[in-house]
With several copies, the nearest count.
Chain A
């Protein structure tokens, strides 16, 4: 089983990285780009388990809160995949 965790800055948090990427794409002639945001994806391999999906999801949520995301400035979203 796999969990995909997407971590990105909360709306309103300064994102200099995204701005720089978008500007640089424009400089390279990709005028259609009007904005860019960079986030992280963390792919976790999980041992197979018989637990219900909700329990697994709850564990991954704990991982996010404890380590994977900085919840002061970041949001996260979890996707479970078999």
Chain B
């Protein structure tokens, strides 16, 4: 095939247009010129451009992320590596991270979501962990928008198609629909892996003259960022645009996991790094930079899927299912044997050097020779202007229209997009493979529970974000996001340990957006500190905008906790006939920014419920103690839709009716649908009621008896009275009904 390759001569003609097409500002380009003392060639320019891209350099977010609490007594590795590592006793470590794949999923939902799952798994097993659970946090546009169903279909099939095949259970997640995502959906995937604390692998290359191995799939022209580079410059048949969407191969990923773990059980690996965004470029530079060494690669040795690939293409390709590693000298054959056993491509493509430079050879010519330190040290680090989001008015329940028909209101809310059952989604995910899933989306519960294989302990995992609160008040909303994950872990009796995050925002060059970002981080960080609940990994996704319209600010958080004894945990499933319902936490009837307001009143205004971190901690610690002392049958936190929805969800999961009574003062709609924070609904045996209430009082914790469990109806005095079965059917029907018109279209 007659592919025109870029010649050295041509590359010396770096025009301002080419610089701009690479997303580099004139100032940034000047730094490159200063550092190199000459013009870069096209390969070098490409490498600088991806390393200094927002995605790799975090240039708009770095200084703000630095404020996060990142240390704690169980933290083995905080942000800065492929994933965070925490200690869960007995020599076991949990390694986890969340990442976005928003843009690719909008372009090609199936492959975009699938490769998102593949990418986050690699971040985890590259550190020596066997992936044991997947989660996902999805935001789609309005259900009625023409593109939404197709995106839901593709994304869900893609997540399932990848995770199911690799054989890692997808145990939970969250799904929102809102018009703010019509032009920019969010697909955030989280992976949790299990390793031994004494066998965690890092990415810092060490030593000089050590062999560098390339393993996995061959390199193709997938997802080359040069999208910005007119493709006509690269090939002659210009109507065949090169694919910019990566295609995933879960089969290879599965082999890669097994092969890497097999080699990791020996002492052959010095350093290892997956090739994620910006592929070979960022993996080699990160390994070299962290280890303070140089790297020399012979690009002719890189396994290639297509003919005539240029150095530029090889360095920028985002082909999936690839890893780079530094192997101990003398262990080369062992590495070859393991990867060949698993039928993976493997090649020794270079070695570490003492030059501190990245040197690339292609067809016996030097095609890149740049110092590595500036790529990292001189990466732009901007203090973008930001303005604080203006405060919204606090809305009193008494000033909000009160429905005249509570049955109808309950049904409207239970069938609203963000409350309705997501069974249609999670039944497409294998939740049981590996046979350690104790609880998953199946129960509609708060946190998934995954047993540590061969032990009697488990990790609890949750993902949460309430974008409407963050939009209303980034600071309070940021606190709320972290608090909700902490609460969800608490609900199952876990000790919350640490979080990962995926900060999805609009264009950071707009001060209002940057204001949301800064405000949310401030709130999140305060909550982290209040709970001693550090951030150990994360990801930032900016520029989520279409036609100047930014998505609602969506800092999704994934929380992980430990249940050290599986004899003491709770879910929302266990409520029993005759139980008493106790509500822990204070209810003021907060309807601002609530689901009631949006679904019944079509209003999205008002300040969001504030989070009292001290009360939150007090209440949670108490609930956790009750679970561990086996004083409760079922627990569920109050979140979207307030007490009424919490009670319905508990009733659905436990398959028994509930009767709410004993409202506190204030309007009924505020009592039932208000979204005050820091609250838990407990179902407890009669004889436990008094001790629980009096201990709460002693600790200064607000607790109310709010009803009973039993029968086949869902009732609230002076408000609704509907059949459990009927309400459940409607709760279950909304999403399948929405999808039914396209249901069978996914004939891939």
Contacts and interface: CB of A to CB of B under 8 A. Distances in A.
Chains A and B in contact, CB within 8 Å? yes
Interface of A: 9-14, 16-17, 19-21, 23-24, 27, 38, 67, 70, 72-73
Contact of B747 (A9, A10, A17): A17
Interface stretch (B217-225, B375-383, B431-439, B547-555): B217-225
A16 B744 contact: yes
Nearest to A24: B745
Contacts of A17: 747
B245 interface: yes
A12 B242 contact: yes
A40 B306 CA distance: 23
B195 to A, nearest CB: 28
Nearest to B108: A72
Interface of B: 107-108, 110-111, 217, 220-222, 240, 242-243, 245-247, 249, 251-252, 305-306, 319-320, 741-742, 744-745, 747
B465 to A, nearest CB: 28
B252 to A, nearest CB: 6
B320 A14 contact: yes
Given A70-B108, A73-B111, A14 B745 contact: no
B396 to A, nearest CB: 47
B742 A14 contact: no
A73 to B, nearest CB: 6
A72 B104 CA distance: 11
30 contacts: A9-B247, A10-B240, A10-B243, A12-B220, A12-B242, A13-B222, A14-B220, A14-B222, A14-B247, A14-B305, A14-B319, A14-B320, A16-B249, A16-B251, A16-B252, A16-B744, A17-B747, A20-B747, A24-B744, A24-B745, A24-B747, A38-B747, A70-B110, A72-B107, A72-B111, A73-B108, A73-B111, A73-B243, A73-B245, A73-B247
A67 B747 CA distance: 9
B251 to A, nearest CB: 6
A12 B252 CA distance: 18
Nearest to B250: A16
Contacts of B245: 72-73
A61 B80 CA distance: 49
Contacts of A21: 745, 747
A56 B602 CA distance: 46
Contacts of A20: 251, 744-745, 747
A19 B743 CA distance: 12
The listed residue with most B CB atoms (<10 A of its CB), out of A9, A14, A70, is: A14
Contact of A11 (B222, B240, B252): B240
Given A12-B220, A23-B744, 13 more contacts: A10-B243, A11-B240, A12-B242, A12-B243, A12-B306, A13-B222, A14-B305, A16-B251, A20-B745, A21-B747, A24-B742, A72-B107, A73-B108
Contacts of B107: 72
Contacts of A13: 220, 222, 243, 247
Contacts of B243: 10, 12-13, 72-73
Nearest to A42: B747
A19 B741 CA distance: 14
Contacts of B305: 14
Nearest to A72: B108
Contacts of B745: 20-21, 24, 67
Contacts of B242: 12
